Structure 1
């Protein structure tokens, strides 16, 4: 693949109606006090918001499965707000870097750099904080067979549905500072094809070098290289 499918991500806060206060007539027996269970979707959203606020940086191994069956691996570096680097460590001649405002897709094999405004990519949901989540539109759901505690955040830009959908996967983990672990995500494009990214070997709130958000521009080089720096 020589391009990255980008998906707009918008997220709206879920709301739970507050319990009404019921007046009691003098001639009626007293009502038993009842507790209202917090809506599970709202609870899950709050957990994700806490994750976004509590995890300022992340480093992890990633494994990417493309729709055509190709598998690529590498190291992910992330720092909020707005910075990420997908450093492919196999023979994939690509590099993806977000420098706070722009997402850069660098192809070292053909000497090409493609740029997108970061705010118009799905990574906005991942690289922002709880304020960003509150200003977007998405669906929060919980559980899958055998994974009842799984939290899923799915989003599709209603104004540009052809850009597809992104789903982030979280799992409770008491070893993490916020009690949640980001397992990975998938993107479903307009053709109905899915690209999956899984994370392992995670370290959170680590110190990352500012040089990670820069890259060697391959345009104009006389010799194409498969290595990235």
Structure 2
């Protein structure tokens, strides 16, 4: 059975989002860069919506560099984990796994604190001065995909911004929206939070 890969990490590529892109105001892009560099860790609740309107919920845990975990609700037998080097998609219902280098994922922008986003990101007009949206893609590696991220201005958050979520489209035009809530930043997180059981040997368990 073919492994089902959600659009937020889908390959071979995410296609461009249907937005009008303008030249990036340097102050807005600099604000996003400061926020990303100020976040060493984050936890949040997430709601993932696909193009059919199906919603899955769960908990997000992030620790830089390179570590992320999407722990879905108990009824969903999948897990997405970045362990610092690789991004894993694990399907416990069929006992399969898939791996990519983290740098090849559109989520890499969240996980690499040294990355200069001015080379890969463009500001997208939102019509709301309280929000900043960016569209990011590596022009040298379009096969790595695209991601559109939305931030709310918040003086209490790192760098004055709060990540609200992102939108991704895969090559089959499958749209996935991630919305975040209850964001918390820069608390100590153990590396053990990013360990996982091999579904090939532990089918049905996480």
Q: Which category describes the TM-score, using the shorter chain as reference length?
A: 0.7 to 0.9
State the shift of 1:205 in Å.
0.4
Question: Distance in 1 between the 2:105 and 2:85 partners?
Answer: 11
Question: Distance in 1 between the 2:196 and 2:95 partners?
Answer: 13
Q: RMSD in angstroms over aligned alpha carbons?
A: 2.2
The one of 101, 113, 132 aligned to 2:85? 101
Partner in structure 1 of residue 167 of structure 2 = 186
Using the size of structure 2 for normalisation, the TM-score is: 0.84
State the shift of 1:163 in Å.
5.9
State the shift of 1:94 in Å.
0.5
State the shift of 1:158 in Å.
4.0
The one of 197, 201, 208 aligned to 2:182? 201
Using the size of structure 1 for normalisation, the TM-score is: 0.76
Partner in structure 1 of residue 18 of structure 2 = none
Secondary structure at 2:126 match in 1: strand
The one of 195, 212, 223 aligned to 2:193? 212
Q: What does 1:54-73 correspond to in 2, within 5 Å?
A: 54-73=38-57
Q: What does 1:91-130 correspond to in 2, within 5 Å?
A: 91-129=75-113
Partner in structure 1 of residue 115 of structure 2 = 132
Question: Distance in 2 between the 1:132 and 1:155 partners?
Answer: 12
- CA pair 162-49 structure 1, distance change in 2 beyond 3 A: closer
1:68-111 per-position Cα deviation (integer Å, ceiling 9, x unaligned): 32211000000111110001124111101001110011111111
The answer (yes or no) to whether the contact 1:163–1:189 under 8 Å persists in 2 is no
2:168 matched to 1:166? no
Question: Distance in 2 between the 1:217 and 1:135 partners?
Answer: 37
Question: What are the ranges of 5 or more consecutive residues in structure 1 without an aligned counterpart?
Answer: 9-38
The one of 73, 80, 86 aligned to 1:89? 73
State the shift of 1:40 in Å.
6.6
User: Which fold has the larger relative contact order, with Cα–Cα distance below 8 Å and residues 6 or more apart in sequence?
Assistant: 2
State the shift of 1:155 in Å.
2.1
Task: Give 1 or 2 for the bigger CA radius of gyration.
Answer: 1
Greater shift, 158-167 or 64-73, is seen at 158-167
The answer (yes or no) to whether the contact 1:162–1:189 under 8 Å persists in 2 is no
State the aligned residue count: 192
2:137 matched to 1:156? yes
